């Protein structure tokens, strides 16, 4: 593995200047009180929040642009430009809605990362306790080698080590399971947004072909726009294709089905794909989302 | 055409609350000095700028998250999590780069809208002049019906009307041509981002399948990560597929090829697709972009 050429090493020089600068706030400072173990993920979860906000902004601005485009088209007093710009506005609104849905899905992915962060934070005291007892033993051995307290401490250390072994097993079990779940969801959301926006953009291009841009000479009157019916049909087709959309993902296979509530393996292990898990957080297919909200509201209203 | 159900009418109630609020600034106030005709497009171009900034932010944060993910994975001291998180980081960086490329393409689309706005602004004085002379004639006819100045004004009006006829023809010619060019580019950019991100997300999902999430019991030692070679191959495959990507768009047909530099029809009109126009602004296929910058820099470095 060429670690020197991985993203890890490049960050030191490349990303230093790209690192986003956010103002300090109470919630930023709070990060400093995080357990050492969960600090990195804590920061990542915070950065992901900024990323999600950017997609929400993009979606909102897209909706605003769509309605401004339609308004502008109307003001041109050109029937053809008016109709086509209005319908492109519908397509653009829907593209904006898909950005927003994507942001919602990223929020779900983010909450899975939080589960790993929480386990990390809870495992930290177990590590600290082990180190603390070891340190005490070392000090006492040096200062007072025959102290009867040493026996008690050695017994405590054995217990702390056993407790930590459990904690570390829980940590690795949950980490691997949740990393797979989180990025399963993330990549599924990326694909969903992409596939739906391709559908929309494709029909947007068809609308453009209905606008005749043959130049006219001064005094010429443009032919009345005769493609209104066709344009309406394009939107109806777009809506139908968007409604018919469903995910076709290569499943992510998981063996974490054998993980008990105690975060230890259960006896009955079974292989399954996380994509099929009915757990709403793990499910990368947002079937729970109201269909009207997720798919084609703008198209539906425009073609009703 | 069901205008009541178009985006235009809905904006009044739906989008009022969604309208983005930006602080006033000199450049915002400048909008108020724009010619009436170009005001709407001026505002749209401004809003598009906010949208582009949002995509730039999303791309930048995505790069930052990618490198944080890789760092976190390394800190887990789990070989498998370390390797997979690093490689997912590479995929995520590339997805971020695609957001940035998308923002650059939107910038090109935005500059085409500016061409329409500029023509609108330049046509406004011609409209104003016509109205001004008509008003003068009306006033004079009322105040001093036998004034010899009336003849001069009537002659001026004929000239102003002729000039305006030309201006309006230029306006409609450029508007229709540029609307098609602008949204051809916009939708092509949407499709490009989507198709490339689907490729990346698909390989990201394959990486996830290399991470074994079988739960372990306390004290168990995880098997050494044996899939490093396979993971490297997944990145190499992703890079290759991304490099091979090329646009497959339904062409946008244009008759604007017959538009002369005077913005009037030339004698020799020919139908052509704007997608094939060599004009760099009109070309929706950003073949001029350095391939290394647009496609797979992160993948290339990671698999070199």
Rounded Cα gap, residues B245 and B140, in angstroms: 69
The span from the first CA to the last CA of chain B, in angstroms, equals: 56
**Does residue B291 surpass a pLDDT of 60?**
no
pLDDT band at B4 (very low <50, low <70, confident <90, very high): very low
> Would you say the ipTM is above 0.85?
no
Distance of CA A115 to the CA centre of its chain: 14
Residue A212 forms contact with B (CB below 8 Å): yes
> Considering CB atoms only, which of B80, B187, B195 is closest to A204?
B187
Give the closest-approach CA distance of A246 to chain B in angstroms.
Answer: 15
pLDDT at A37 (0 to 100)? 86
- Contact partners, residue B144, CB within 8 Å, separation at least 6: none
In degrees and rounded to multiples of 5, residue A287 shows phi and psi of -70, -20
Q: Is A250 exposed, middle or buried (0-12, 13-18, 19+ CB in 10 A)?
A: middle
Nearest-by-CA chain B residue for A253: B209
| Inter-chain residue contact A304 with B255, CB threshold 8 Å | no
CB B63 within 8 A of CB B169: no
Token readout for B90 is 């590479």
In tens, the pLDDT along B43-102 reads 999 999 999 999 999 999 999 999 999 999 999 999 999 999 999 999 999 999 999 999
Nearest residue of chain A to residue B180 (CA atoms)? A208
Residue A228 forms contact with B (CB below 8 Å)? yes
Taking 50 as the pLDDT cut, the residues of chain A under it are 1-4, 11-20, 24, 26-32, 269-293
pLDDT at B267: 65
Between chain A and chain B, how many beta carbons pairs sit less than 8 Å apart? 358
Q: Give the model confidence (pLDDT) of B154-202 as tens digits.
A: 999 999 999 999 999 999 999 999 999 999 999 999 999 999 999 999 9
The confidence score (pLDDT) of residue A297 equals 77
Per the DSSP assignment, residues forming a β-bridge with A253 are: A273
Is B185 at the interface with chain A, CB within 8 A? no
Residue A240 to residues A85, A201, B89, Cα–Cα distance (Å): 21, 14, 36
Strand pairing partners for A240? none
Judged by a CB distance cut-off of 8 A, whether residue A233 touches chain B is: no
Query: Other C-beta atoms within 10 Å of A56: how many?
Result: 19
State the smallest CA–CA distance between residue A72 and chain B in angstroms.
6
- Contact B22/A at CB under 8 A: no
- Whether A173 and B212 have beta carbons less than 8 Å apart is answered as no
Q: Which helix (H) or strand (E) holds B156?
A: helix B149-208
Q: Is B224 on the interface with A (CB under 8 A)?
A: no
Query: What average pLDDT does the segment B11-32 reach?
Result: 46
Helix, strand and coil in chain A, % to nearest 5: 70, 0, 25
- The confidence score (pLDDT) of residue A215 equals 93
Q: What is the pLDDT of residue B117?
A: 96
Residue A259 bridge partners (DSSP): A265
In this complex, is the C-beta atom of A200 within 8 Å of any C-beta atom belonging to chain B? yes
Best mutation target among A59, A179, A210 (most B Cβ atoms within 10 Å) is: A179
Domain with residues A33-212+226-244, CATH architecture: Up-down Bundle (1.20)
What does the pLDDT read at residue B234?
97
Please say whether the beta carbons of B35 and B124 come within 8 A: yes
Residue A9 touches partner B, C-beta closer than 8 Å: no
Residues in chain B with CB shorter than 8 Å from the CB of A71 are 8, 11, 40
Q: Which positions in chain B touch A208 (Cβ < 8 Å)?
A: 179-180, 183-184, 187, 252
Give the residue extent of every domain in chain B.
33-212+226-244
Q: Is B148 helix (H, G, I), strand (E, B) or coil?
A: coil
Residue B29 has pLDDT above 50, yes or no: no
Name residues 114-153 of chain B within 8 A of A (Cβ): none
Q: Does residue A243 sit at the B interface (CB-CB below 8 Å)? A: no
User: Nearest CA to CA, how far is A149 from chain B (Å)?
Assistant: 28
Share of chain B above pLDDT 70, in %: 80
Is a pLDDT exceeding 50 seen at residue B150?
A: yes
Indicate the Cα dihedral angle B233, B235, B237, B242, nearest 10°.
Answer: -170
Among A255, A301, A303, select the one facing B10 at the smallest CB separation: A301
Task: Give the sign of the dihedral formed by CA A219, CA A220, CA A221, CA A227.
Answer: negative
What is the spatial distance between Cα A116 and Cα A21, in angstroms, rounded to a whole number? 25
Enter the pTM of the model: 0.82
Give the closest of A19, A168, A216 to B169, CB-based: A216
pLDDT, position A23: 53
Q: How far is B273 from chain A (nearest CA, A)?
A: 10
* CB proximity B60 to A under 8 Å: yes
* CA–CA gap between residue B41 and residue B28 (Å, rounded): 14
Q: Is the pLDDT assigned to residue B281 strictly greater than 70?
A: no
How does pLDDT run across B102-144, given as a tens digit for each residue? 999 999 999 999 999 999 999 999 999 999 999 999 999 999 9
pLDDT tens-digit series, residues B225-236? 999 999 999 999
DSSP-assigned letters across all residues of B51-91: HHHHHHHHHHHHHHHHHHHHHHHHHTT-HHHHHHHHHHHHH
* Dihedral angle, C-alpha A272, A274, A277, A283, nearest 10 °: -170
Among A249, A242, A236, residue whose Cα is nearest residue A294: A242
């Amino acid at each position: 593995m060429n670690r020197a050429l991985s993203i890890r090493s490049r960050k030191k020089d490349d990303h230093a200047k790209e690192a986003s600068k956010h103002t300090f706030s109470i919630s930023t400072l709070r990060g400093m009180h995080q357990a050492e173990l969960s600090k990195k993920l804590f920061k990542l979860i915070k950065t992901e929040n900024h990323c999600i906000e950017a997609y929400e902004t993009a979606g909102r601005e897209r909706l605003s642009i769509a309605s401004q485009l339609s308004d502008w088209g109307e003001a041109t007093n050109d029937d053809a430009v008016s109709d086509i710009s209005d319908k492109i506005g519908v397509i653009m609104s829907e593209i904006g809605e898909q950005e927003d849905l994507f942001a919602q899905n990223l929020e779900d992915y983010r909450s899975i990362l939080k589960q790993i962060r929480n386990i990390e934070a809870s495992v930290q005291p177990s590590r600290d306790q082990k180190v603390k007892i070891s340190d005490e033993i070392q000090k006492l051995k040096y200062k007072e080698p025959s102290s009867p307290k040493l026996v008690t401490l050695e017994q405590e250390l054995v217990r702390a080590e056993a407790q930590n072994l459990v904690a570390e097993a829980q940590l690795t079990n949950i980490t691997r399971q949740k990393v797979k779940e989180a990025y399963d969801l993330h990549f599924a959301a990326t694909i969903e947004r992409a596939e739906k926006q391709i559908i929309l953009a494709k029909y947007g291009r068809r609308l453009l072909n209905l606008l005749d841009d043959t130049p006219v000479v001064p005094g010429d009157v443009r032919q009345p726009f005769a493609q209104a019916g066709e344009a309406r049909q394009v939107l109806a087709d777009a809506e139908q294709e968007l409604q018919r959309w469903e995910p076709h993902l290569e499943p992510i296979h998981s063996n974490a089905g054998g993980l008990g509530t105690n975060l230890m393996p259960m006896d009955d292990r079974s292989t399954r794909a996380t994509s099929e898990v009915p757990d709403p957080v793990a499910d990368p297919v947002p079937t729970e989302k109201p269909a009207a909200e997720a798919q084609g509201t703008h198209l539906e209203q425009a073609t009703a």
